[in-house]
Amino acid sequence: MGGFGRFLTALGGVLMGVGLIMVVVSLGRLRPRLPQSGMWRLGDSKAQEKGGQGVETLVFWFVVWVALFVLGLTLVVTARLVFLNALAVQQQDELAEIKRELRELRWRLEKSVPPAELAGPATPAPRGRTPMNDDELKDLLVRRYRLDRETLWQKASGLPEHLARTPQTPTGTNLLGLVKHVALVEAGYFGDCFGGPFPDPPAYYDYTNPACEPDDDLWAFPGESPADVFALARRAAAHADASIDRHALGDTARVAWWGEGGRDASLAELLVHMLDELARHLGQADIVHEQLDGSAGYRAGNSNLPEHRTAGEWEARRARLQAAADATRPRQHE
């Protein structure tokens, strides 16, 4: 109970006590002055003369003390009801906080389990840590790579064409451009570098072509539809996957555009390089997609976000982060 509630309770208690005492005193003074027949009425001058002090005055003060007692009782009851209501609100808030923490804990526990796409076949857990052999390591890297590539495709799918094309940064980053760029990069690293040129490539595939801009692979031309971009991406993926499947992790490729004169790189290094490439562009796609239609998260079925948060809670979180940023803003000298 707050300070005001305690004050009301104390005041009500005092009024009740004073009122009760004075009611008893008034009854003691009033009773001898009432006629025994019960036929006496207020205003009977003979009865007033017999009683000494006016009975009407005693009755008046009796009513006053009863009202004082009732007022005190009302204050005490009101303070108690206010306290109980505040307690109920507090308990509801605490219960909501407990539920939020439980949802947060459940989310963290769920995220501690690796995605089903990466889990692989169930095998008995070894007693000690067993190093991966090359085949197991290649399988892990390739599954991760293909999962992230499919996730990038998801980011650019299901949107109106003008949104998929819309640049969201000063340098023109857009979803269809990211899909197109990754497609041609993987075709180059896993195809051309291993001696398997990408068949029927677009003119801008050759970055030395003077008729093309060096970043023509980062946007969809007016004549290229989303279907065209995804068809190119699937062709490039099939070409890259076939090359990956043919080679072991230690097999060497020649990357002509690394350094002066190029250098050799193993399939393992190229897989790691392309995972890094995909991770970078997936992060860009996350932000671009959220800016376009407000949707966020890693991929369909696995947002990797605290999904229990409501839109209002996300807005409150953003406001809290903005306030923390604003607090560090340099102040102009007046």
Q: Tens digit of pLDDT for each residue in 171-195?
A: 999 999 999 999 999 999 999 999 9
DSSP reduced 3-state for 3: helix
The answer to whether the beta carbons of residues 298 and 291 sit under 8 Å apart is no
**What pLDDT is stored for residue 118 in this prediction?**
56
* Distance separating alpha carbons of residues 269 and 97, to the nearest angstrom: 47
Q: What does DSSP assign to residue 247?
A: S
Q: Lowest mean pLDDT: which of 219-223, 293-297, 306-310?
A: 306-310
Residue 105 or 163, more confident: 163
Chain-centroid distance, C-alpha 170: 28
**What pLDDT is stored for residue 254 in this prediction?**
96
Supply φ then ψ for residue 299, to 5 degrees.
Answer: -160, 170
**What pLDDT is stored for residue 35 in this prediction?**
59
Find the length of the chain.
Answer: 334
Residue 184 or 298, more confident: 184
Helix, strand, coil share of the chain (percent; to 5): 65, 5, 35
Element (H, E) at 190: helix 175-190
- Tell me whether residue 236 is exposed, middle or buried, using C-beta atoms within 10 angstroms of its C-beta: 0 to 12, 13 to 18, 19 or more: buried
Q: Lowest mean pLDDT: which of 189-198, 245-254, 314-323?
A: 314-323
Of 310, 328, 307, 330, nearest in space to 318 by CA:
310
Residue 127 or 222, more confident: 222
Mean pLDDT value across residues 193-201: 94
Of 166, 204, 171, 212, nearest in space to 187 by CA:
204
**What pLDDT is stored for residue 75 in this prediction?**
82
Q: Tally Cβ neighbours within 10 Å of residue 189.
A: 24
Residue 13 or 265, more confident: 265
* Distance separating alpha carbons of residues 172 and 128, to the nearest angstrom: 50
Whether the per-residue pLDDT at 250 is higher than 90: the answer is: yes
Q: Tally Cβ neighbours within 10 Å of residue 185.
A: 18
Mean pLDDT value across residues 240-244: 97
Average pLDDT, the chain: 83
Q: What percent of the chain has pLDDT over 70?
A: 82
* Distance separating alpha carbons of residues 99 and 93, to the nearest angstrom: 10
**What pLDDT is stored for residue 119 in this prediction?**
55
Q: Lowest mean pLDDT: which of 123-127, 274-278, 294-298, 303-307?
A: 123-127
Supply φ then ψ for residue 151, to 5 degrees.
Answer: -65, -40
pLDDT tens digits, one per residue of 80-128: 788 787 778 877 877 777 766 666 656 565 555 555 555 555 555 555 6
Interhelix angle 226-246/175-190, rounded to 10 degrees, is: 30
Of 107, 192, 178, 113, nearest in space to 149 by CA:
178
146, 186, 253, 254, 334 from 195: Cα distances, Å: 22, 14, 8, 8, 66
Question: What is the DSSP code string of 194-243?
Answer: GT-PPSS--GGGSTT-TTS-TTGGGS--TT--HHHHHHHHHHHHHHHHHH
pLDDT tens digits, one per residue of 15-71: 878 878 887 887 777 777 665 434 345 445 554 444 444 677 877 887 887 888 888
DSSP reduced 3-state for 11: helix
Q: Lowest mean pLDDT: which of 65-69, 277-281, 326-330?
A: 65-69
Q: What percent of the chain has pLDDT over 90?
A: 45
